[in-house]
Structure 1
Amino acid sequence: MVIYDNKEWIETIVNFYRSYIIRQIFRSTLLVGLITAVLSFIVMEVLQLQIKFHSNVFSLLGIVLSILLVFRTNTAYDRWWEGRKLWGGLVNNSRNMALMVHSLLEGQATEDRNFYAKHIANFAIAMKEHLRKGVKLEELHHLDPVEQKIYQSRQHIPNHIISQLYERTQQLQKNGTISGYDAIPLKTHLQAFTDILGACERIKKTPIPFSYSIYIKTFIMLYTVILPFGLLEEFGYYTILLVMFIFYAFIGVELMAEEIEDPFGLDCNDLPTGNIATTIKNNTYEILCLYAEVEKEDEKELYEKVF
């Protein structure tokens, strides 16, 4: 995610080139401008055609296209915002669970405190990578050789981590460290972990229908191709600039929607799930009085488009 101050809007506009999606839009717009220039030259200078299209046709098509793009953008943003709310819920549930464990365990129960802190933190880190291209075991904290071997044999590591937390909670209940009433809210938070993970997987594995996405892109391209024929007679070579501007507006909305519909990756507009996972780790270790494991969060830009 690109970090910026939305109050400094002039500086934000000046540094717009930092966004990968803006650079992609500019490249596409320049290509359309070049094609329009060649087409305009052929029609006006070589063939010397007099092509007339009523402007109302393009106005009507533009309205239809705008409605489709509004729906497309709203749908994509809803997915992005739902993902952010789910990760916010993960932060809250992680903190609440750590607070409950801290209040239930004695200060001398270092092993149990370490276990819960380690696995709550590792769940957030594992979930972050699980929603991308797979969990990277080297990013997980304090895995001994035996655990690494077990983790390598698991296809769904976040589920395995939750299973370990359930087993430890059940073990503490059986040996009398915590009561059955105390175990109930702990298991409720663990269930919330599973629900959040499942909801994120739903977003990840259910993209916008392919036909809908292709239809909008095809509509934009066809509209851009025929638009010069309706503008050449009145605007001449200024048609090139007008077509580029209109294409910039339409394709920009479509590409931005396309990027944010999967909010868990490393695109410049995706959610800062890495930062959130680090926050969960630091908060959990601090709550459980394991200050040596708290690390300073990196405030620099951590996310960029993966080519």
Structure 2
Amino acid sequence: MIVYEANKNFLKDITHLTSSWTMRQMLRGTLTVAALTTLFCVVVIELFNSEIHIPSNIFSLLGIVLSILLVFRTNTAYDRWWEGRKQWGSLVNNCRNLAVTIHATFPEEDKSTRRELAILIANFCIALKEHLRKGTRMEELIHVSSREVEAYQKRNHIPNYIVTLIHQKVQAVYRSGAISGADLRNLKPHLQSLLDIAGACERIKKTPIPFSYSVYIKLLILSYSLMLPFGLIRDFGYFTIPLVTFIFFTFVGIEMMGAEIEDPFGLDCNDLPTGDIAHTIKNNVFEILEVPHGDHVEHKTELYEKVF
């Protein structure tokens, strides 16, 4: 995710756009349309003396339809992005609340159980952020033995398995008499919320915008941009080239921004910083439970760029 200070460096923020993969793709498509428009203008003006013309009113009506579709596309994509951020915000709060409840109810002298639960909660968040990408990477999990790695590798859904281990550990402490039934009931909602949040994120991940919408919008943008010179050539001449180029850049930019943020859990420039959030939760949980995590390696931001 690009971190920046709003309303501070207007021109500098604009220059940063060229470093975005999405922007580079947009520029390639825009230059292609500009080249085709230039070829069209040269042929029509030099050979046909601008005799080819389609009433521009038609393109005004088509532009309205296209704008409505793009509004739907952008709103749908942003809703998915914001829903993902809310779910990870809930994950932060629930992990903190779970750690606070454990700290208040578990015996103070039982440092090993506290540390084990802190490791499991932290690993759940680290595993979840990669589970929503291409699958959990074992090397990122903290304080796992080779035997535990083998057990993890046998599971297809590692976040589920980690939550199961947390439940088993809490139940073992309850059976030992260290915590009461009331304490267990207080822990249950926070434990259940972990998988509720994971399921909500999976819903966002596995349900993209319907394919027909995506293809139709792309086809309509391309068709509109390629036909637009026919309506502008007689009135604007060679000035048709920058007009068509800018209109295409506007429409395709909105569509590609929506495509970039509709899956908010990846590593695109504007995706959610789930890696940073996961490591923040890790640090918070160990601090709340007052156990050392022994992980002195500084977490490096994952492909997220800071703009000052």
* TM-score category of the 2 structures, normalised to the smaller one: over 0.9
* Separation of aligned partners in 1, 2:155 and 2:301: 33
Do structure 1's residue 52 and structure 2's residue 48 form an aligned pair? Answer: no
Which range is displaced more, 133-142 or 26-35? 26-35
Structure 1 residue 132, shift from structure 2 partner: 0.1
* Separation of aligned partners in 1, 2:145 and 2:303: 28
* 1:119 aligned partner: 120
1:159-213: per-residue Cα shift (whole Å, max 9, x none)?
0000000111111111101111101121211110111000000000000000110
1:103-139: per-residue Cα shift (whole Å, max 9, x none)?
1122221110111100000000000000000000000
Q: Would the alpha carbon gap of residues 292 and 194 (structure 1) be closer, same or farther in structure 2, given more than 3 Å must change?
A: closer
Unaligned runs of 5+ in 1: none
1:77-119: per-residue Cα shift (whole Å, max 9, x none)?
0000000000000000000000111111222211101111000
Structure 1 residue 303, shift from structure 2 partner: 2.9
Which range is displaced more, 18-27 or 151-160? 18-27
- SS across alignment from 2:271: coil
* 1:227 aligned partner: 228
* 2:103 aligned partner: 102
Structure 1 residue 4, shift from structure 2 partner: 1.6
Which range is displaced more, 3-12 or 119-128? 3-12
For residues 80-99 of structure 1, what are the structure 2 equivalents within 5 Å?
80-99=81-100
For residues 127-276 of structure 1, what are the structure 2 equivalents within 5 Å?
127-276=128-277
1:221-254: per-residue Cα shift (whole Å, max 9, x none)?
0100100000111111110100000001100000
* Separation of aligned partners in 1, 2:220 and 2:26: 17
* Separation of aligned partners in 2, 1:199 and 1:67: 28
* Separation of aligned partners in 2, 1:155 and 1:296: 28
Answer whether contact 1:97 1:189 (CA < 8 A) is retained.
Answer: yes
- SS across alignment from 1:255: helix
Aligned sequence identity (%): 55
Structure 1 residue 301, shift from structure 2 partner: 6.5
Letter in 2 for 1:12: D
- SS across alignment from 1:236: helix
Unaligned runs of 5+ in 2: none
Which range is displaced more, 1-10 or 275-284? 1-10
- SS across alignment from 2:215: helix
Answer whether contact 1:281 1:294 (CA < 8 A) is retained.
Answer: no
* 1:7 aligned partner: 7
Structure 1 residue 298, shift from structure 2 partner: 4.9
- SS across alignment from 1:15: helix
* Separation of aligned partners in 2, 1:87 and 1:293: 25
Which range is displaced more, 242-251 or 289-298? 289-298
TM-score of the superposition, structure 2-length normalised? Answer: 0.95
* Separation of aligned partners in 1, 2:291 and 2:123: 15
Structure 1 residue 14, shift from structure 2 partner: 2.8
Aligned residues: 304
Letter in 1 for 2:42: F
Answer whether contact 2:275 2:301 (CA < 8 A) is retained.
Answer: no
Letter in 2 for 1:113: R
- SS across alignment from 1:237: helix
Answer whether contact 1:285 1:291 (CA < 8 A) is retained.
Answer: yes
Letter in 2 for 1:255: M
- SS across alignment from 1:141: coil
Structure 1 residue 294, shift from structure 2 partner: 6.2
1:247-289: per-residue Cα shift (whole Å, max 9, x none)?
0110000000011000000000100000000100000011111
Q: Would the alpha carbon gap of residues 301 and 200 (structure 1) be closer, same or farther in structure 2, given more than 3 Å must change?
A: closer
Which range is displaced more, 25-34 or 241-250? 25-34
Letter in 1 for 2:70: L
- SS across alignment from 2:241: helix
* Separation of aligned partners in 2, 1:230 and 1:297: 58
Q: Would the alpha carbon gap of residues 292 and 211 (structure 1) be closer, same or farther in structure 2, given more than 3 Å must change?
A: closer
Letter in 2 for 1:61: L
Q: Would the alpha carbon gap of residues 160 and 283 (structure 1) be closer, same or farther in structure 2, given more than 3 Å must change?
A: same
- SS across alignment from 2:303: coil
- SS across alignment from 1:36: helix
Letter in 1 for 2:190: H
Q: Would the alpha carbon gap of residues 53 and 32 (structure 1) be closer, same or farther in structure 2, given more than 3 Å must change?
A: same
Q: Would the alpha carbon gap of residues 296 and 63 (structure 1) be closer, same or farther in structure 2, given more than 3 Å must change?
A: farther
Structure 1 residue 300, shift from structure 2 partner: 5.3
Answer whether contact 2:99 2:289 (CA < 8 A) is retained.
Answer: yes
* Separation of aligned partners in 2, 1:195 and 1:179: 25
Do structure 1's residue 35 and structure 2's residue 29 form an aligned pair? Answer: no
